Amino acid sequence: MSESVDAQISYLKPTSLINRRFWAPGEEVNTGEYQPYPVTIRNARNAKKPFTLDEHGFAISSYPTKLDDFEDKAKISSIYDDEVKHIAMEMTGADHVAIMGGQLRTSGTTSAIVQPPAAEAHVDFNEFTSNRIAQMLYEKTAPGGPGYDRFIIFSLWRVLSDPPQDWPLALCEASTVNDDEGVSNTKVDVDEIPPYEHRFDPIPGEEEMVAATIFFHNPGHRWWYFPDMTRDEVVFIKFHDSDHSHAWRTPHTAFHDASQIAPVTRVSYEVRAIAYFQKKEKTS
């Protein structure tokens, strides 16, 4: 197994001014202007020490699932959501986990329920969005709870197709990302992607809308991937850790692995959720 692969990752162009991601069933379009940069993506399975959430911002672990159909919303709700909560509590030490939702993705044919892979360096939420969503979801899922001292918004990512995948997941080591890097990319949900000339029209209240963080190229970013992932493995990816003394966010993206001779179309499922470290009840 090779030590690394040479690939390209798309970063935001310095000239890009209005950054939005229009999201329609089966299709995503960015107004931001991106360009590919050559990068070396290292084989994380050959790293000298295991990856940890607090040091690197992501980690892999083995957690087989009992779910046999990732298109069945009822089964996901009754089986997989509880599995995700269990995994997140084991991997983080948190004591409350709230599920935000899941997404099936493929590098092949998309549909109303299957989206394409994200294709640029990003983190799914910016800091403003992270704090607001964490507060709202805690109040909804833990009414009357003691509150929390810390939260981690994360993705639990699982590949469903056999290895080797044509578009694997690349993860940027958090310590190589400066705290002041990144700009907001507003998510705009639509039934159909608007014509190009209307994608830049003013949107009232845009500054209060859910937004991701996207990045300009930084040659200091250190990228990794886990080749030949199987269905029994999951990658935990930090989107936002409110405790910035730890690795607190992980830029990530899909990338085309041109080194594979006969790759398989990637199919994956990700769950976004929030792990809370609740305040301890005071005892008299």
Separate counts of helices (H) and strands (E) for the chain: 4, 16
| Res 46: pLDDT | 96
Q: Is the separation of the CB atoms in 193 and 22 below 8 Å? A: yes
- DSSP for 192-238 reads SPPPGGGTTS--TTGGGS-EEEE-B--TT--EEE-TT--TTEEEEEE
For residue 153, pLDDT over 70 is answered with: yes
pTM: predicted TM-score of the whole model, two decimal places: 0.93
| Res 140: pLDDT | 98
Overall average pLDDT of the 159-186 stretch:
97
Pick the closest to residue 267 from 41, 30, 23, 103 (CA basis): 103
The domains located in the chain, with CATH, are 4-278 (2.60.120)
Give the C-alpha separation, 208 to 210, whole Å.
7
pLDDT (tens digit per residue) in 59-85? 999 999 999 999 999 999 999 999 999
Give the mean pLDDT of the chain: 95
Residue bearing tokens 């939420």: 125
Give the C-alpha separation, 196 to 105, whole Å.
25
Give the C-alpha separation, 124 to 130, whole Å.
9
pLDDT (tens digit per residue) in 98-132? 999 999 999 999 998 999 998 899 999 999 999 99
For residue 284, pLDDT over 60 is answered with: no
| DSSP symbol at 80 | I
Give the C-alpha separation, 184 to 123, whole Å.
10
pLDDT (tens digit per residue) in 223-245? 999 999 999 999 999 999 999 99
pLDDT (tens digit per residue) in 41-55? 999 999 999 999 999
Q: Is the separation of the CB atoms in 278 and 148 below 8 Å? A: yes
| Res 271: pLDDT | 98
Percentage of the residues of the chain whose pLDDT score is greater than 90: 93
For residue 283, pLDDT over 90 is answered with: no
Q: How many CB atoms lie within 10 A of CB 112?
A: 9
Give the C-alpha separation, 133 to 122, whole Å.
18
| Res 28: pLDDT | 86
pLDDT (tens digit per residue) in 175-211? 999 999 999 999 999 999 999 999 999 999 998 899 9
